[in-house]
Amino acid sequence: MKVVILDSPAEVARYGADIFQQQLQRKPASVFGLATGSTPVQLYRELIARNRAGNISFRDVRSFNLDEYMDLPPTHPQSYRYFMDSEFFDHIDIDPANTRVPPGDAADPITACAEYEQAIAGAGGIDIQLLGIGRNGHIGFNEPTSCLTSRTRVKTLTRETIADNARFFAEGEHQPHLSVTMGIGTIMEARLVVLLATGASKAAAVKAMVEGPVSAWCPASMLQMHPAAVVIADEDAASHLSDPAFFKHIEAENQAMLARLGRG
């Protein structure tokens, strides 16, 4: 696991956007796994700006989102399909037909989950999987106690996650307690995983992910076993790590090596 600690959320977004830009330059027809939530918004805005400037194109990209609420239509303002359209897809040159979000409103969600897995495999697998991390260590909607080899499935949300997300729903409005999410096993098959973490509220989860044992109680800790996982955190999110200075030293040495090789 590579851990990169930067000064601010803006720097986290730029660093992450650089990774996506490099991937698009190598492979214009990349397959991206995408995430929702407040953390990736700055990254999406950075990618939108680069797309509008002509530096990158998403014309040949296919995307698969991590998760979706159960029983919300795609047009609902709190659905993750609505979020992705309004925050990202509507502002870049991607073909809407090439964007997939788990079917939270499917009549048969169990069958739909299997079909989602088949679609990812049919696309050749995911090149870069973007993640955030929940305060309880969840990735996607893989809550604590999730099976570490799980596949796309229906998942019950914890009370903590429901409480965290309640602010997005009006008083008296239906708030789903179930979701459809890629499994941890699905995430682990991505060729590269990029996890963004910003803010002090994520510090305990980041510590558990990076330094704690691999455990279903912190689903993100499974990324310790991934051969190419990059955690990009700001100072606040990294503040509980035992030795942040060491990770900064590693990154400085890595960047110096890349510069010597002409890859900086």
Q: From the candidates 46, 105, 138, 234, which is the catalytic residue?
A: 138
The answer to whether the Cα torsion of 138, 142, 144, 146 is positive or negative is negative
Q: From the candidates 68, 105, 117, 143, which is the catalytic residue?
A: 143
Instruction: Give the tokens for residue 253.
Output: 């040495």
3-state SS, one letter per residue, for 116-137: HHHHHHHCCCCCEEEECCCCCC
Active site annotation includes 240:
no
Active site annotation includes 136:
yes
Instruction: Give the tokens for residue 222.
Output: 């499974």
Query: CA distances (Å), 175 to each of 79, 134, 157, 160, 181, in order?
Result: 11, 18, 11, 13, 17
Nearest CA-CA partner of 15 in 220, 187, 243, 195: 195
CA–CA separation, 246 and 233 (whole Å): 14
Q: Is 45 helix (H, G, I), strand (E, B) or coil?
A: helix
Active site annotation includes 67:
yes
Active site annotation includes 173:
no
Q: From the candidates 46, 51, 65, 67, which is the catalytic residue?
A: 67
Q: From the candidates 46, 105, 117, 136, which is the catalytic residue?
A: 136
Catalytic residues: 67, 136, 138, 143
